[in-house]
Amino acid sequence: MAARPRNRANLEAARSRMYHALIVDSAERVFAEQGFESGTMQDIANEAGVSLKTVYANFEGKDDLFRAIHRDRVTALTEELAHVYASDREPAEMLREAVRSHVSFLVERPAYMRLQLRSLRSWGMDADSEEAFDHGGRDSLIALLERGIAADVFYPGEPVRIAPMVLAVMQVQLADQLRHPDEVDADEVADQIMRHLGRLLCVPENERRVRRIA
């Protein structure tokens, strides 16, 4: 019995999603290990175990794949952080939870973390780029900083300028940990980042609280 048109469409959509995820994951590993310039579409096809024709049937080229990696990962990260930013925690505690979620997300996805850290892209300075690491979460971070400044938890300043500094601290700390990726402990790294952020952001009495939180 022939498949009904709706069933056939559902099957094609499921197959398309499967190939998309398979090829994106494979491209992520290839770019993380070889770099964007050195990794080829054939390398990606080999990693995915599909034909080169199949890769090109789903993506126009490496640039398209690179954007797809970031769209998928940033969407997932933004969804995780949204739960943190929607809570009613006070600013320092919310920042700690956001940092922990951010770090855990990367540690659980070592290929994406390596890809990000190899790109030499500043996480906080390319917010308008489609591939921006913090795209979607930056506005929430800025709002959190505004709350903390208004509550005298954080030093006065311009949150839109402070947010890139927060992300830069995370980037530098994770880059240092990447030298020994098998030994990275997400909670320990998050605590180290929070200690740095406490000194950077918090007025003295709140810095002591942040150190206790971390």
Sorted by where each begins, the domain ranges of the chain are 1-59, 71-213
Least confident segment among 53-62, 77-86, 131-140? 131-140
Is 144 a residue whose pLDDT tops 60? yes
Rounded to two decimals, what is the model's pTM?
A: 0.80
Phi, psi angle pair for 154, to nearest 5°? -105, 155
Q: Regarding the domain with residue range 1-59, which homologous superfamily does it belong to in the CATH classification?
A: Homeodomain-like (1.10.10.60)
In tens, the pLDDT along 36-46 reads 999 999 999 99
Q: Which residue has the higher pLDDT, 69 or 132?
A: 69
Span 149-163, average pLDDT: 93
Which pLDDT value is given to residue 19? 92
Domains 1-59 and 71-213 share a fold: no
Is 211 a residue whose pLDDT tops 90? no
99 band by pLDDT with thresholds 50, 70 and 90:
very high
Which pLDDT value is given to residue 54? 95
Q: Which residue has the higher pLDDT, 163 or 181?
A: 163
Which pLDDT value is given to residue 203? 80
Phi, psi angle pair for 99, to nearest 5°? -65, -45
* CATH number for the segment(s) 71-213: 1.10.357.10
| 121-125, 130-134, 170-174: which is most confident | 170-174
Which pLDDT value is given to residue 118? 74
Q: Which residue has the higher pLDDT, 116 or 213?
A: 116
